[in-house]
Every structure is written in C-alpha cells, then in structure tokens.
Amino acid sequence: MKKILNKIKNNIFIYDLLFIGINILINFILYLMNMRFRLWVIILIILISITGFIVGIFQQIYISSNNKKKVVIFSLLGTIPFILLFVILMPIIGFVAIFSYKPEHTTTLDNKKYVAVVSSFLHVDVDYYDSYGFLLMGTKVKVHGDFGKGGYDPFDNPNVPDSVEYTYYDNNGKIKSKRTETFVKNKDGKIIDKNNYNIDIDKSDSIDDSDNYLLPENEEVLYEKKFDKTILRFSKVDNVLGQNMLVHVLRSKDKGKNFYVVSDDVIQVSNEAKFIFLNENLGFAISTGKVYLDNNKTGLYVTSDSGKTFISASFKYTNENADYISIEGVPYYKENKLKIKCSVYQINSNKDGYENKELIFISNDNGLTWNLE
C-alpha cells in the first residue's frame, strides 16, 4: 500500500485522473440535487484537468527516458506546433467564444437572490437560477426575463431596456405567473421609475378569454378630449396594488365610432390622477399631485406623440426645507408659454411657523423640463 501511495505521489498523471474522477462524481451528486457548479468553477476545473494531463504525460516520458536532456528538448519543440495552431485559430476561437459565452451575474429579484445567465445575440434573454453561494447554482430555470431585441447585457447596461417581461416557473417547470415591468426614463435616458403589471397564469387559465377580453371603447374612460374628428382618451387598463391603476391612451379618428390603443406601454398612476391634452400631440398625466425633489418618483408624465410614449417630466427646483412640491393644477398655456401652478409647504421667513408658497413653473421644451418662473 505504501508503495502504491508513493507511486501516486510521484505521478502527476494519476493525480489528474483522480481529480477528474472526483469532479465527475461530485457533479453527478450535485445533479441529483438539482445543483451545479458556477461557470467560473467549471472553467477552472477544466483548465486544471488539461494542464495536469499535459504535464503528467511529459513527466511520465521524462521519467521513463534515459536521455533526460533530449526529452526536455523534444518536449519544448513539441509544444511549438500547438502554440502556433492556437495562435492561428485564435480569431475563430474568439469568434465562437463571443457568441457562445453567457455571462453570469449574482442578482436579487423580488427580494430573492438568483444567478442570472444572460443570452444576448439578437435578442436579450435572462434565465434566473437559484443561488447557493459563489460556487453553486440551481439547474432549473426559476424565472425567465425577456428584455426584447438587442445585443447587450442588461446588468452592465441597466438603462438600455424599455421594458422586461418576467415569466415565473414552479418546481416542475410549469409557468405559474408573468409580470411585465415598464421603465420610466428621464430626458437623459436614465431609468427613474418603473410600472408593474402582474398576470396570474393559474387564475387566467380558468377564465374564458372571450369573457375576459375588453374592447378599447368599453374601457373605463378617465379623461376625454375632442379635436375636430379626433378624440383622445385616457382609459383604465387595470387596478394595481397601493391604490394605483394602469392607464393608456385611446384614439378615434371617426368621431368616436371606433377607438384604437395608441400607447406602446401602460403607465402606473394613482387612482386620483389627473389628465389633460392641450392639443392632438401634447398631453400630461399627473399621478399623485406631488413632485418629489429627489426625483425618485414620477409626479408628472408627458407625451408629445398623442400618448404613444410617455416621459417623466423634470422640475428644476431646490428647497432644503421641503421634500416635495404639490401640483395645484394641470399644465396650461398663457401668453404662448406653457405653465403649471404648484405650491410648497415650507418654513416661513420668520422661521416661527409654516406657510404654503405658490410656485409657477414654465417649460420651453413641451413639458419635459420645468423651471421656476
């Protein structure tokens, strides 16, 4: 037994075979437990195995040869063709690696930690697996994220997508629910807010689609404005948590006989939201009547394309004594200038109480940016 251990000790090739065998066994056991190694661990195991295999072969040739110097020279010369072949094939290997490589990210979704695997050739798809630390991950997809067309990594470039549809799976791989998340961006393209729309597959499967489908003209009308033959409406799509609702814009070009959805995506506003269209293109949706000065919530949505897209308006105002300003009315034109009346509740000039101060903001870019008049 001692001789066998000594022989193994001086034989890198046998060490390498043992290493490979142990890893195959570990991977098999992990597979039975619906787990596997992370990508970086797999790559490390492969590199160690290949390196040990090559070094082990050279070692055995060196030990069994009488002319040690000749073995070393031939071994060095023998590696040159492999190095040249690797250099020649490097462009092909790199090309294949770029399109086959799927980066992994440890991330949190819905307050749960996952390992996200990104596929982003012509379409950006992200599969979320259970995370078991920095070494291990699950083998079953728990959530799938559809980020739309493109060739980017949504974790390295978080402001690129406009929306994402999450599909949730149970332990048997069956779809149990879906959630659409639309992003609200400022004029610089940075995401400042998001809207969620949940679909419970288990419940929706038991409902007849013909009973659940609602024609646009039958949606609850929240606001309507006529411009000759054109009618624009803000209508409710659905209720969501937190006393909020999802809305979009409908348009009729035949005096109200037929309505069609204009908006690319729904927006989330409070149940007390106010709406207005100043002309056929320019419209506004006031969510809660408050504009937070840290811009962490959307207070005013603006559309300049009849409701097709909405952007969060920006207010250029600083006040150390207030967290938000209140919108007192809808935007309006006065002397060909776009204005909106607001107010702020702050400490008075005597600093012995509070006062409600009126603020008038003016916009020179169709409501995207508001400056104090």
The 10s digit of each residue's pLDDT in 184-225 is 777 778 887 777 666 555 544 443 433 344 456 678 889 999
Q: Hunting for tokens 């390196």 — which residue is that?
A: 51
The 10s digit of each residue's pLDDT in 132-154 is 999 999 999 999 999 988 888 99
**pTM listed for this prediction:** 0.53
For the record, the structure tokens of 208 come out as 């007849």
CA 88 – CA 218 distance, rounded (Å): 66
For the record, the structure tokens of 361 come out as 């903001």
pLDDT at 90 over 80: no
For the record, the structure tokens of 109 come out as 């979704």
CB atoms within 10 A of CB 114: 21
Backbone angles phi and psi of 9, in degrees to 5:
-60, -35
Where is pLDDT greater, at 362 or 96? Answer: 362
Q: Hunting for tokens 């070009």 — which residue is that?
A: 253
* Whole-number pLDDT of residue 282: 95
> Average of pLDDT values for 245-257?
87
Query: Looking at 244-289, which runs of residues are DSSP E strands?
Result: 244-252, 260-261, 267-270, 274-277, 283-286
122: pLDDT confidence band, cut at 50, 70 and 90?
Answer: confident
The SS3 assignment for 371 reads strand
